[in-house]
A and B are shown apart, each in its own frame.
Chain A
């Protein structure tokens, strides 16, 4: 079915999580990789393909950031991707720089469908501690908002955004039925259990966020190594009831294809009417007091 953003498609959506290992700093090679995977996903009859964080560039760019930055409204790469998105939805990660904001580089995610860019999210929470140094090289985004897609209202997050409570709440309050998180999360901490401790943290939070929001939680992480850091993979889908609907391999490239049924959002919200009973005005008033120190 050819998606039309003006129609709210109700029912099954086939989502492909493209767990790839991008080449660091080579947009041309990464675009080729994207095209190959999109082709595979199309053969699997996927409606939407989700790529990881900075999928067009690789993650640990440091001073390479400016050499791989793209203007999504003008770049050749985006023209190719927009054309492809006429019959398959795409979510991917890139370094964004607009002519109107020269020298401002954002770690961004684009959602493309119906031949257009429907939304660009700029990563708000740039981790800068321990092994992370994103604030050294990127400007922070300043917003979380939901947007209409051919498959219901969605919201985007990028990696560390997911670990903060506020984006989940804002997307929930904004009416998201599905949150999509693209990620370049390193695997950290080994124990006697299989997989990294950090992977279990993601899964636990994915399950919880599905339950909190009665929404689909879709997470696409990358794999491969950069400068000795292993990206953990383990991309996943949780349902609005907090049930696992599939997990990709740890460490290895994978293409996880899962059909989700958007009617499950309605079912979950009938059983658990947290959305109906939410009071964003109470949150807003309390936040005003906290932020402006009225209580102090």
Chain B
């Protein structure tokens, strides 16, 4: 399986992408949410290389004192890449909201992701910077992210890398070992891990996704490779159910020329 990447070349592509996307839009600075996890650390390292550390601002947005170990990792990553960082505690806003409208942990988790998005966009305006996305291909494909939350960004350098590949790049980029080896978590509630919640390891999930998506294999062929039918079906169902998170919402067409249907301009228009 060609899941293994040439590290230096991949880094060359992604740093060029970051530099060009910002440059074409007339920006030189980027902000990103740094959670202390693998994806945001890799993204921060790439941005520091692409733009110079001074042009990258990491926002650390803990919920009160929860996940303080992750915050410590985020600080360490910011130090390792010599990027600037700013801490904004989201507990006061989130608590105020749910004091008025109590909810379960999924709604709270999604609200927290959107609170962070809202802060990122606000600070990006203050800093004259663009928001870097940190969602990887694995989570984008299975919809393991909050719409208008952690998936919101100006552009995303990691969206075509599976989690397994992000991990490879992390080593190449000098991401601190502690961050590379701890279990991935969305940090929505205490004790949550991605692999626990999904019911399978990223290694297995990525192999199945790679076969289905990159190699365009059929369900039957993937199962024939020895993966469990139940697992493959669960993944296919998740891909289908989350398509709405990967697209702009449909517009009802009534005119002769409609945005998204036949009003078709490139994103990089004039750039």
A residues in contact (CB < 8 Å) with B? 23-26, 60-64, 187, 189-195, 224-228, 230, 250-252
Contact = CB atoms under 8 A, between A and B. Distances in A.
A59 to B, nearest CB: 9
Given A225-B16, A230-B16, A192 B6 contact: yes
Nearest to A224: B20
B266 A227 contact: yes
A31 to B, nearest CB: 15
B263 A63 contact: yes
Contacts of A230: 13, 16-17
B267 A227 contact: yes
A61 B271 CA distance: 11
A225 B265 contact: no
Contact of B9 (A24, A190, A224): A190
Interface string B64-77: 00000000000000
Nearest to A227: B267
Contacts of A63: 263-265
A61 B266 contact: yes
B271 A24 contact: yes
Contact of A225 (B8, B12, B21, B269): B21
Interface centre among A190, A191, A227, A250 (most CB of B within 10 A): A190
A268 to B, nearest CB: 33
Nearest to A25: B270
Interface centre among B4, B8, B268 (most CB of A within 10 A): B268
A195 B12 CA distance: 10
A226 B21 CA distance: 9
Instruction: Say which size band chain B's interface belongs to.
Output: 20 to 34
20 contacts: A23-B270, A23-B271, A24-B268, A24-B270, A25-B266, A25-B269, A26-B270, A61-B266, A62-B264, A62-B266, A64-B265, A190-B13, A224-B20, A225-B21, A228-B17, A228-B155, A228-B267, A230-B17, A251-B16, A252-B16
Interface of B: 2, 4-6, 8-10, 12-13, 16-17, 20-21, 155, 263-271
A65 B6 CA distance: 36
Contacts, number: 68
A190 B5 contact: yes
A225 B9 contact: no
B266 A191 contact: no
A60 B17 CA distance: 16
Contacts of B266: 24-25, 60-62, 64, 226-227
A44 B203 CA distance: 52
A61 B17 CA distance: 19
A60 B268 CA distance: 9
Q: Which 6 A-B pairs have CB atoms at the shortest separation, nearest pair first? A: A62-B264, A227-B267, A60-B266, A191-B2, A63-B264, A225-B20
B209 to A, nearest CB: 16
Q: Is the interface of A mostly helix, strand, loop or mixed?
A: loop
A57 to B, nearest CB: 11
A62 B268 CA distance: 11
B262 to A, nearest CB: 8
B153 to A, nearest CB: 12
Contacts of B16: 225, 230, 251-252
Contacts of A224: 20
A290 B268 CA distance: 44
A250 B12 CA distance: 10
Nearest to B157: A228
Given A24-B268, A224-B20, A225-B20, A194 B9 contact: yes
Contacts of B265: 62-64
Nearest to A62: B264
A227 B17 contact: no
Contacts of A252: 16
Contacts of A192: 2, 4-6
A229 B60 CA distance: 30
B268 A225 contact: yes
B9 A195 contact: yes
A250 B11 CA distance: 13
A74 B20 CA distance: 34
Given A63-B263, A190-B13, A195-B9, 4 more contacts: A23-B270, A25-B266, A64-B265, A250-B12
Nearest to A226: B268
A190 B12 contact: no
A230 B19 CA distance: 12
